[in-house]
Homo-oligomer: A and B are copies of this chain.
Amino acid sequence: MADGGQRHRVVIVGGGFGGLLAALGLDKQPVDVTVIDRRNFHLFQPLLYQVATGGLSPANIAAPLRSVLRRQRNTHVLLGEVGGFDLAAKTVHLKDGTAVPFDSLVVATGSTHHYFGRHEWEELAPGLKTIEDATEIRRRVLSAFERAERTTDPAERARQLTFVVVGGGPTGVEMAGAIRELALHTMRYDFRAFDPAACKVIIVEGQNRVLGGFHESLSAKALRSLHDLGIEVKLDCHVTAITADSVTVKPDGGTAEPYRIEAATVVWGAGVKGSPLGKVLAAAAGVETDRGGRVPVNPDCSVGAHPNVFVVGDLAQFKGADGKPLPGLAPVAMQQGEYVAAAIVRRVKGESPGGAFHYRDKGAMATIGRAKAVAESAGFRFSGFPAWLAWLFIHILYLTRFENRVLVLFQWFWNYVTRNRAARLITGERSADARS
């Protein structure tokens, strides 16, 4: 794979925000770059909920890695699954036996769902991390409406029309808003046996407010927007059980009894942990992952006593100036990827090392249904339509790396004008036969 040549070899594992920005930062530099990913595309995860609710197609938010890096002649994309690291021998081992040598290593394999030990919930309440997750949730949400149309039993219909979203962070709030809009507007005239507006969307959140990462005033505004949309929010509540047709919720503190919500569809947005490769790397580097499976990193994003091994993005536990770990957000991963690329270039060129990584917080935003959002940036907080416009603008801007940015903008404009969600297809089972 690597040409064994004289040039410094950089291996980047993972083509998400962190890995991709690291690779792009090495363009035209005197290094040979190999990007290894299991998937052949970079995924714009912040918009996965749009795929899960039929607003966008997978290809709208995924860009083939080869395509993004096609003109970067010093860079090689390798589709493969990493099994282990030999840091002493400076080698990455793929599961198929291939050994990929490196001089510098960047690991950016992101995060996966965290069910806090309740593995049996994974099938019952899928999370939203991959294209397959999104089309699976889309299949479940749309199938529930179909079953509601077919049944003649009012209790069963109510169960099919109840959607529980576990977690009131940005993902949970966006998913809940999108499901409700799907029912209220897009599918308004689609059914004969019930009024889609009768569907119930419930957010269960363990904290005392939604969007816990935002300023309290925005949490309050978001809560109001959610109520306006007809979404029920249960704060200070934990999920204690999930079955195929119910969720059991326990209010925190006090003596309130757990109660059962009859719901056919549950979406998990409550937690993430570092990808499994984090533990493998940590063991190889002689460090310990934190409770969230993240790899603690030094101020320059390197790991343990290995100045040439870096972890960036969701997989890294980076302590900020205030001693708190940086949140698992795309901008953090992107800035870390850029930082590490620059650090490697300086080292290869024999320049003096730069300072520690410093996260420039440009703000955060979340949408709540059509044309509603909350945002905060540099001390400013705003909400409603202006925040939504900002959200739209920023997201379009960040799709820079995607050839089809213009298409997505057009698709969105179209969806906005027509309230269309044309991608609401129930797909999945590969059935070779024709319709019946």
Interface residues in A45-72 (C-beta closer than 8 Å to B): 54, 57-60, 62-64, 66-67, 70-71
A79 touches B434 (CB 8 A): no
In the assembly, what is the distance between CA of A424 and CA of B422, in Å? Answer: 20
Partner of A81, one of B1, B275, B436: B436
5 residue pairs bridging A and B, Cβ less than 8 Å apart? A40-B146, A54-B59, A112-B432, A131-B425, A404-B422
Residues of chain A whose beta carbon lies under 8 Å from any beta carbon of chain B: 1, 13-16, 19, 37-41, 54, 57-60, 62-64, 66-67, 70-71, 76-82, 98, 108-113, 122, 126-127, 129-133, 135-136, 142-143, 146, 149-150, 187, 189-192, 275-277, 314, 402-404, 406-407, 410-411, 414, 418, 420, 422-436
Q: Are B109 and A436 in contact (CB under 8 A)?
A: yes
Contact A434 B133, beta carbon cutoff 8 Å: no
Q: Could you say which of B150, B190, B276, B424 contacts A436, with CB atoms under 8 Å apart?
A: B276
Given contacts A70-B189, A130-B431, 5 further A-B contacts (CB under 8 A): A15-B435, A64-B424, A109-B436, A129-B434, A131-B427
Chain B residue nearest to A41 (CB atoms) is B425
Closest B residue to A186 by beta carbon equals B67
The majority secondary structure among interface residues of chain A is: loop
Asked if B66 contacts A187 (CB within 8 A), the reply is: yes
With contacts A150-B79, A436-B109 known, is A426 near B136, CB below 8 A?
A: no
Contact, CB under 8 Å: A275 / B130: no
* Chain B residues with CB under 8 A of A66: 187, 190-191
Interface pair B133/A432, CB less than 8 Å apart: yes
Contacts of A432 in B (CB 8 A): 112-113, 122, 126-127, 129-130, 133
Q: Are A422 and B131 in contact (CB under 8 A)?
A: no
Q: Report Cα–Cα, A16/B421, bound state, in Å.
A: 21
**CB atoms of A427 and B57 under 8 A apart:** no
Q: In the bound complex, do residue A150 and residue B78 qualify as a contact, i.e. CB atoms below 8 Å apart?
A: yes
Write the chain B residue with the least CB distance to A67. B190
- Contact, CB under 8 Å: A62 / B425: yes
